[in-house]
């Protein structure tokens, strides 16, 4: 069973020139559009160039390890897990992870009965404030289209075979709402520390195309 939920400038500085800003490098249409939007927002005083760079640097510093740290804390602290599911923004702030932008975040727990799969059918909305930039496959048209109509088939291509008795829920990220999957804690990890558990949490398990790694015997 599967369900789908919608919910004339000199750019060289400090002795360095950036690729894409050189005269002999042609920008893509998307890059030109982004630059035009940035210039318009700065011109109207909505956002400054320094703030744009700060956001870029912040998101560039994030990686799936940050998300794994949140998951590991939820696995080891039942009270934190309850707070994370009820109020993700506040729970993330406890660990020093503020959400950037206006988009909200929902955390969905996988269980023996329900498995969640995250997709953005329109573009590539993704919890970058916690996981960093999305992988190329997440942005591809093939994934965005097939994850909705054949989620089990897509997961099998990632090496995950969800049993017929498990309900698969496909959730659609939007500009206003992003999703993070809380994967199930692997068996045999009862005596492991939080740091050891972090190494078992993969990016794919927090998107839903995979599960957390089993501990090495």
| Cα atoms in the 13 Å half-sphere on the side-chain side of 45 | 0
Give percent helix, percent strand, percent coil of the chain, each to the nearest 5. Answer: 40, 15, 45
Catalytically active residues, by annotation: 120, 123-125
Q: How many CB atoms lie within 10 A of CB 210?
A: 17
Give the Cα separation of 179 and 74 in Å (integer). 16
User: Which burial class, exposed, middle or buried, applies to 149 when counting CB atoms under 10 A from its CB (0-12, 13-18, 19+)?
Assistant: exposed
Q: Is the dihedral of CA 40, 44, 46, 50 positive or negative?
A: positive
CA distance 177 to 122: 13
**Cβ–Cβ < 8 Å for 129, 97:** yes
| CA atoms of 133 and 83, how far apart (whole Å) | 25
Helix (H) or strand (E) holding 39: helix 29-43
Query: Which DSSP category does 15 fall into?
Result: T
CB neighbours (10 Å) of residue 145?
A: 13
């Amino acid at each position: 069973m599967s369900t789908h939920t919608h919910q004339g400038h000199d750019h060289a500085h400090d002795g360095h020139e950036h690729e894409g800003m050189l005269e002999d490098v042609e920008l893509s249409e998307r890059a030109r559009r982004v630059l035009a939007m940035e210039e318009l927002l700065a011109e109207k005083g909505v956002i400054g160039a320094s703030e744009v760079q700060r956001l870029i640097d912040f998101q560039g510093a994030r990686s799936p390890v940050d998300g794994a740290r949140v998951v590991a804390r939820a696995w080891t602290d039942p009270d934190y897990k309850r707070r994370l599911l009820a109020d993700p923004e506040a729970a993330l702030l406890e660990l020093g992870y503020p959400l950037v932008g206006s988009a909200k975040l929902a955390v969905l727990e996988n269980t023996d009965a329900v498995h969640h799969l995250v997709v953005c059918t329109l573009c590539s909305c993704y919890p970058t404030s916690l996981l960093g930039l999305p992988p190329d496959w997440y942005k591809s048209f093939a994934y965005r289209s097939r994850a909705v109509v054949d989620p089990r088939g897509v997961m099998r291509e990632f090496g995950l075979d969800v049993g017929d008795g498990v309900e698969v829920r496909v959730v659609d990220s939007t500009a206003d709402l992003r999703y993070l999957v809380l994967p199930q804690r692997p068996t045999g990890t009862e005596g492991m520390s939080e740091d050891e558990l972090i190494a078992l949490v993969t990016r794919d398990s927090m998107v839903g195309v995979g599960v957390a790694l089993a501990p090495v015997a």
